Amino acid sequence: MVLTSAAGLLALLDEPEQELRVYSLQKLNLLVDQFWAETADSVSKIESLSEDPGFPHRELASLVASKVYYHLGELDESLSFALGSGKLFDPLGSGEYEETMTARALDKYIELRIQQYDDASVSVDPRLESIVNGMFGRCHEDGEWKQAVGIALESRRLDALENVVRKSPRPRELLGYVLDASSTVVQNADFRSKVLRLLVTLLTSLPEPDHLATVQCLVLLDDAVAVADLLQTLVHKSTSGSPEAETALLTALQIAFDLEESATQDFLGRLLQTLPAGPVGERAVAEPVPAGASSTVEAEKKDDADAMDTDEPKGAEAKAIDPLASANAEAFGRIRGILAGDMSIKLYLEFLFRNNRTDLLILKTTKNALDSRNSMFHSAVTFANAFMNAGTTSDEFLRQNLDWLMRATNWSKFSATAALGVLHRGQLTQGKTLLGPYLPQPGVTTSNYSEGGALFALGLIHANHGAGVLDYLSQELKNTPSGSEIIQHGAALGLGVAGMASANDDIYEQLKGVLFSDSAVAGEAAGLAMGLVMLGTASQKALDEMLQYARETQHEKIIRGLAVGIALLMYGKEEAADVLIEQLAEDKDPILRYGGIYTVALAYAGTSNNKAIKRLLHVAVSDVNDDVRRAAVIALGFVLCRNPKQVPRIVQLLAESYNPHVRYGAVLALGLSCAGTGMPEALSLVEPMLKDPVDYVRQGALIASAMILIQHNETQTPAVATTRKLYEKIISDKHEDQMAKFGAVLGQGIIDAGGRNVTISLQSRSGLLNMVSVVGAAVFTQFWYWFPLTHFLSLSFTPTALIGLDKDLKIPKFEFISNAKPSLFAYPTPTKVPTQEKVEKVAAAVLSTTAKAKARAKKAEKDKGDAMDTDKKDDKMDVEKKEGESEKKDGEGEKKEGDGDKGKEDEKESEKKKKEPKFETLQNVSRVVPQQLKYVVFKEDSRYTPIKKTITGGITLMTDRTPSDTAEFIDFSTPTPAAPATTEKEPDPPEPFAYPFDD
């Protein structure tokens, strides 16, 4: 019998007999999914039964009421009654009702736990906690460890997180997942710190402690003292003579390289102050050990030299030296040298020089296609050359085009000189020598633009490693007269780049003095540099002074420089920056609101914070100023830079906006966040913008496409070929807009950056946010207002190298395997010189009258020939016969030549048919692009193996399995750069002359 109505069961609820009401509830519980609409009319009766203390089946009544409210869509009411149903509600059930209620219970629990974390007076229903604990148990049974970690992090349950990790069969892998999730899922800075502290405890308690991941946590906690303690523990263990001694030393050296890549100058400075000193007399900055040298021999020579300077005998002093202490001091000396940065810089310079694949023909073609008298085009080619040769020390293009280079005037000359800093970035010991002809010199008057550009270039060479030039740049800024605002501009930018995040109060005060001079050009650079020097400090004093002056000055350039500088102060501060963000967001001045947007971008960079994303999306569609709206969309790229797959989905509608500024921001956000990924979803959004009717939107799309496709070839991503052809087409088209041409030239430079050996990455190889890259990209986006700031993009370039070092910091020769087809990650094919096609003669047109005249002439000649002697006739026949034979031979020759071409084609076809190998063998110091890392393996019998469990590229310490065997090493081939050839003195001005015409 099939029921068609629940009216009879509902009527039983009014019966006085308890058994009838229970029977009604039991049946309704089974049929409520079918008759919930009818039951809803009587839900008040069911509620009253659930609240009646004398009714023994209150829990059943609560369950029925919960299901009714579930079907009505009242999930909060449904959850409340479900909690009252006790054990009758099965949170682990597989039904739609059970799954929905469990998810709702989890959301409610997380909401209450977050409130309780901020306010201890908030209480959490124990029944909710019971459901969540049951979910943890279910996750443990099913082996869903990552799901359990997510619940623990979102509900801020450190006890549950620790329990999950300790019960997991693979705790090391799970801890890596927790470390990644702590930067994206956990959006409260205080709770994240507690999670990181717990991670440190768990990582060090593993059977084989993961020291590399531990250091990542400590860097995020800004705990330099703990890092120093860990390094000292590893160094002491390396001299203990235990089997793990060599591994401990290699781990300590690897930690030093990772710190140098991702930590700030301030953090490294505090770490160096805490670490023990190296050997007596050793340089503060260590050089890489040459291949043929031995550190032990050098140490012995040092000891011999020191012994000669004392009155005591050499033997007596030697007895007083503790060998263990000497070994420790040597290890600390190496670590200090690595942390100072010279070692990494020299290794990457060697890689970029050795593997340089810059295609100068592209630059030459672009230069010839553009009018060099146009300063915008001249600057564009300058930037493209700087990007293409970034860090390679190659200035060949400049030397080949001195006449073109000398045409640079004013700010184009400033940018051209500053480009030398991009080319020679990392030449810390040769920086002043390289730029000597351009740097300000006492008593010598040259172009202010060249001098200012040279000071900026010096800062770029020493970017984030400015210890050696800060005093010099500071002195030059001090000695520059107040009227020379161009030189002040360059010196301020140089100080900012070189002293990035150094928190140097003296430099800050000096820059503040330049700012208060109220010079528009110098003040803009000073405001920006103040933010760079105090990067991430959130200094209240600096904040108050900069904000106050921004509201007092009348110069828009100064306000803009200060707005970006204020944003830099709040780098990585997250919730701590919210008060300032609110203050700037409500300001009447659109430039300060613009600064507030960049404050959001830098404070929440890489966090994927929902609150920040919501704010940016709101501003992107509501602010009355186009610049602010554009900045809001660009800022999405910074906030989501560690989660690039989400960006195309979020900016999809913005990319279709009627406002061209919003469309420009959308493509640039895609370019910055999806850089180097070749993501098809991102390219599909950028592609329509390449044909946008607005020129600057096309410019942004051209730049963004280069960022996305950097380090990709045609085999890996077919869009590379069409993009490169599009650049050439736009540049050569005389009717194309200047803005679009500028974007195409920049795109050519970006897609082939660093000799085709670098990528753009806003995070380090260890997974931490790369401060220098983020700041470089943020300042680069200001090129919209000021072209010289384009050079800042070079700070985001990361070499795609795999460089292996042994314990003596030498570069051994070894091979490793890339289990992918060579063509998949090969360098792009070099451009070929266009060949001139031979023009064939076209047969002349013959008129009909002319043809008839020739035919009559031939007939007359034939008649005349018949009357000739027979001998002559025979001779003529012989000649014709020979001519026929020769023509036949020529025809045979042509046929043979054609056969040869056909054979060549067949040969090519057979070559194509040959199968490409499925792997390739690479040498140490080779290019390995990020997408290729997962294919890299070392042979089982390889002598050298990486100390890291996961190959992340970059500088990697290698374990030598057979140290007793003779090893071969790679010598450094980077040449000592000579001074640039562009040192010709500018021609003197013409002599005074009398104008020959009357007024």
Residue indicated by tokens 């030697």: 318
The whole-number pLDDT of residue 996 equals: 52
Model confidence over 507-547: pLDDT tens digits?
999 999 999 988 899 999 999 999 999 999 999 999 999 99
The CA radius of gyration of the chain, in Å to the nearest whole number, is: 37
Model confidence over 158-168: pLDDT tens digits?
999 999 999 88
Helix/strand/coil percent split, the chain, to 5: 65, 5, 30
Model confidence over 434-452: pLDDT tens digits?
888 888 887 776 788 999 9
Model confidence over 577-617: pLDDT tens digits?
999 999 999 999 999 999 999 999 999 998 888 999 999 99
Those residues with Cβ within 8 angstroms of residue 866's Cβ, 6 or more apart along the chain or in another chain: none
The whole-number pLDDT of residue 847 equals: 65
The whole-number pLDDT of residue 870 equals: 47
The whole-number pLDDT of residue 914 equals: 67
Cα 269 to Cα 388, 466, 536: the distances in Å are 33, 12, 15
- Report the alpha-carbon distance of residue 670 to residue 653 in Å, rounded: 13
Look at strands 801-805 and 926-927 and give their pairing: antiparallel
Asked whether 928 and 818 are in contact (CB, 8 A), the reply is yes
**Buried-exposed string 801-825: b where 16+ CB fall within 10 A, e elsewhere:** bbbbbbbbbbbbebebebebbeebb
Residue indicated by tokens 């047969």: 843
Does the pLDDT value for residue 951 go beyond 70? yes
Lateral strand order in the sheet of 944-946: 926-927, 801-805, 954-960, 944-946
Does the pLDDT value for residue 816 go beyond 60? yes
What's the chain's average pLDDT?
A: 84
Does the pLDDT value for residue 557 go beyond 80? yes
What proportion of the chain, given as a percentage, has pLDDT over 90? 41
Model confidence over 333-384: pLDDT tens digits?
889 889 888 888 889 998 999 899 999 999 999 999 988 788 889 999 999 9
- One-letter amino acid identity for 915? K
The whole-number pLDDT of residue 651 equals: 92
- One-letter amino acid identity for 140? H
The whole-number pLDDT of residue 401 equals: 87
Those residues with Cβ within 8 angstroms of residue 427's Cβ, 6 or more apart along the chain or in another chain: 349, 393, 434, 461, 977
Model confidence over 253-284: pLDDT tens digits?
999 999 988 887 788 888 988 888 765 444 33
Model confidence over 750-761: pLDDT tens digits?
999 999 999 999
pLDDT bin (cut points 50, 70, 90) of residue 298 is very low
**Angle at Cα 997 formed by Cα 993 and Cα 999, nearest 5°?**
110
For helices 189-204 and 211-220, angle between their N-to-C axes, nearest 10 degrees: 160
- One-letter amino acid identity for 429? T
Cα 746 to Cα 637, 641, 693, 717: the distances in Å are 20, 22, 20, 20
The whole-number pLDDT of residue 395 equals: 87
**What's the number of CA atoms in the CB half-sphere (13 Å) around residue 375?**
10
Model confidence over 875-932: pLDDT tens digits?
444 544 444 554 444 454 444 444 555 555 555 545 544 688 888 999 999 999 999 9
Does the pLDDT value for residue 979 go beyond 50? no
Does the pLDDT value for residue 294 go beyond 50? no
Q: What single string gives the DSSP state of each residue in 562-615?
A: HHHHHHHHTTT-GGGGHHHHHHHHT-S-HHHHHHHHHHHHHHTTTS--HHHHHH
Does the pLDDT value for residue 310 go beyond 50? no
Asked whether 69 and 81 are in contact (CB, 8 A), the reply is yes
Which pTM value belongs to this model? 0.82
Sort 734 into a burial class: Cβ within 10 Å, 0-12 / 13-18 / 19+. Answer: exposed
pLDDT bin (cut points 50, 70, 90) of residue 190 is confident
- Give the residue, 862 or 553, on which the prediction is more confident: 553
In this prediction, residues 688-713 reach a mean pLDDT of: 94
- One-letter amino acid identity for 222? D
Lowest mean pLDDT among 312-316, 845-849, 994-998: 312-316
- Give the residue, 839 or 812, on which the prediction is more confident: 812
Model confidence over 26-76: pLDDT tens digits?
888 888 888 888 888 888 888 888 888 888 888 899 999 999 999 888 988
**What's the number of CA atoms in the CB half-sphere (13 Å) around residue 126?**
1
- Report the alpha-carbon distance of residue 343 to residue 290 in Å, rounded: 12
